[in-house]
Homo-oligomer: A and B are copies of this chain.
Amino acid sequence: MPADALLFSNSRPPGAQVPFAHAAEPLRAHLGGRTLWFAAWAGDDLDTYSGWVGDALRDVLGDLDVRGLHREADPAATIRDADPDRETVFVGGGNTFRLRRRTGDNGVLAALRDRGDLRYAGASAGSNLACPTIMTTNDMPIVDPGGFDAVGRIPVQINPHYLDPDPHSTHRGETREERIAEFHQENAVAVVGLREGAWLLHHQETLTLDGYTARLFRRGHEPVELAAGTDLSWLLATPTS
C-alpha cells in the first residue's frame, strides 16, 4: 500500500491571494508535523523558490520544517534514507520538462519511485511527476526531459491548471480539451483536468477530488464534470496503458 499522495493543480484557486490557504486542513493532515523536503527543480532560482514556498506554507500552517532538497549533497540519498514517519517530500511547480530532466539526472526520480512508502505532495509540475508519465503537462518543452515516464504514484494522469474553452476567443490553437483528446488518440490512461484550486488525495485505496471542480477525460467516453468531494477510487483500477 503506497503512502498518501496529495496532488494540487496549483497553489491557489482563482481570485485567492494567499497560496495554500484554501488547503490548510488537508495539508496539515498530510504533513503531520513531518520535515518537508521541497524539490524545487521545476523552477529557475532554486533557493528563492524554496524560500518562497517555505514562507507560504508556514504562513498557513504555522511552524513547519521546510528544507530545500537541492541543498543536500546527495538529494537522492536523502530521499532513499528518509524516515516516512518523520519526513515527507513536496515537489513544486514550474517547468515539467526541466523537473523531469533534473530529477532523472540526479537520481531523485528513481529514489521517489523506490520510496512509495514516503508521503508525496506536489503542485502543478510536481503533480505531473506523480503520474505515470509527464505527457499531460501544459508546459513548453524547453529541455529534453530524458524520457517521459514519471514516478507513477497514481495510475491516472493529471492536467493541472485545467482551463475551459473561452467561447469568445478567435484563437485557432487547440483548446485544452482538444489537446487531451489528442492525448487519448495515442494513450488509454484517464486524465483528470484539475481546475485551479483543485487537488487529488490518494489515501490507501481511495482517490478523492477536493478543493474545486475538475473534468474527467476517458478514452472513448464523453468528458464528465466532477464536483469537489467526488470519490474517484474506481479510477485506481482503470488501465494505465
Contact = CB atoms under 8 A, between A and B. Distances in A.
B44 A183 contact: no
Given A14-B170, A142-B179, A142-B185, 9 more contacts: A137-B140, A138-B140, A138-B174, A142-B183, A142-B187, A144-B148, A160-B173, A161-B171, A161-B172
A141 interface: yes
Interface in A140-188: 140-144, 147-148, 160-161, 163, 170-174, 179-180, 182-183, 185-187
Interface of A: 10-12, 14-15, 44, 94-95, 98, 134-144, 147-148, 160-161, 163, 170-174, 179-180, 182-183, 185-187, 196
B183 A140 contact: yes
B172 A10 contact: yes
A163 B173 contact: yes
Among A44, A142, A144, A163, the one with the most B-chain Cβ atoms within 10 Å of its Cβ is A142
A18 to B, nearest CB: 13
20 contacts: A10-B173, A11-B172, A14-B171, A44-B185, A98-B182, A98-B186, A135-B142, A136-B140, A137-B140, A138-B140, A138-B174, A139-B182, A140-B179, A141-B141, A141-B148, A142-B179, A142-B183, A142-B185, A171-B196, A172-B196
A134 B135 CA distance: 15
A101 B172 CA distance: 24
Contact of A135 (B140, B148, B171, B183): B140
Contact of A139 (B11, B143, B174): B174
A134 B138 contact: no
Contacts of A173: 10, 138, 160-161, 163
A15 to B, nearest CB: 6
Nearest to A160: B173
A97 to B, nearest CB: 8
